[in-house]
Amino acid sequence: MRKLAVILAVLLLLDVGGAAPQKKYVALTFDDGPTGKYTERLLDILAAENVPATFFLCGYRVGQYPALTARLAREGHELGLHGLAHSYFSELTQSALSEELTKESFLIAEAAGVAPKLVRPPGGKLPQDIAPLKDLSVILWSVDPLDWATDDEALIVRRILKAVRPGDIILMHDASDSSVNAAAEIIRQLKAQGYTFVTVSNLAAACGAVLEPGAVYHRFGG
């Protein structure tokens, strides 16, 4: 009888203490690509690390690199819109912006066979009227290491590590060796801290959020 009580007590303890600690999720995002050799090297790193990322593409570069755009989708990365030619959405008329987004969606669908549901306005500058974005979720960011403005990869890594929390969206650019090297280091270090990398849509889902069209997001979770 005492044995049974002990077993029951152990089972109760297991039940109480057995819940897995909540996983730490984070999303790496890369803007302005695809850029040829930098994107290729980044994709090799992401594949080796088994890390899915989210790419906010420029339409004119999709036109330049359709095969690389196809590779992005094929390797499990999420694709989003970043405008045709990196114009600030705030400086386009409503009809010009709608036309850009339609054209870019077509280019990405043609190259990679996917229909983007996410958009990131260049510079994070939203248009006055977000009607042209009503069918897309607007994804900004919560960690910005300003990687485009420096070639000091250690600085980029430090800035990210200092700021990052679970649920964050990290903004980077696959447009220089220093950014790609910093991304590789960030992946190693955050994995060591117990982080799991997911696409933006999967980050939202993992944090219990539903991505609504026409809504603006900086990060997910508390």
Q: What residue type is assigned to position 175 of the chain?
A: A
CB of 172 to Ni ion, least distance (A): 11
C-alpha span between 74 and 69 (Å, rounded): 9
By CB under 5 A, is residue 174 in contact with Ni ion? no
Single residue of 34, 59, 122, 127 touching Ni ion by CB under 5 A: 122
The count of other CB atoms within 10 Å of the CB of residue 54 is 25
Closer residue to Ni ion in complex, CB, 69/166? 69
Amino acid identity of residue 200, one-letter, is: V
| Cβ contact 140:124 at 8 Å | yes
Nearer to Ni ion, 122 or 127 (CB): 122
218 is catalytic: no
Which are the contacts of 178, defined by CB distance < 8 A and separation ≥ 6? 147, 150, 151, 152, 153, 156
Catalytic option among 152, 173, 174, 218: 173
- 15, 31, 152, 168: the catalytic one is 31
Six-digit token string for 62: 């999709």
Residue 174 known to be catalytic: no
Only segment of 120-128, 164-172, 180-188, 196-204 that touches Ni ion (CB under 5 A): 120-128
Span interacting with Ni ion, options 33-41, 98-106, 115-123, 139-147, rule CB under 5 A: 115-123
Q: Output the DSSP codes for 132-197.
A: GGTTSEEE--SB---GGG---HHHHHHHHHHH--TT-EEEEESSSHHHHHHHHHHHHHHHHTTEEE
Beta carbon of residue 147, minimum distance to Ni ion (angstroms, whole number): 11
**CB nearer to Ni ion: pick between 147 and 153:** 147
Question: Scanning residues 16 to 75, which ones bind Ni ion (CB under 5 A)?
Answer: 31-32
Residue 32 or residue 174: which is nearer to Ni ion going by CB? Answer: 32
Give every CB contact of residue 88 below 8 A, 6+ residues apart in sequence: 121, 122, 123, 125
User: Site size for Ni ion, by CB under 5 A?
Assistant: 3
Catalytic residue list: 31, 173
Residues forming the site for Ni ion (CB under 5 A): 31-32, 122
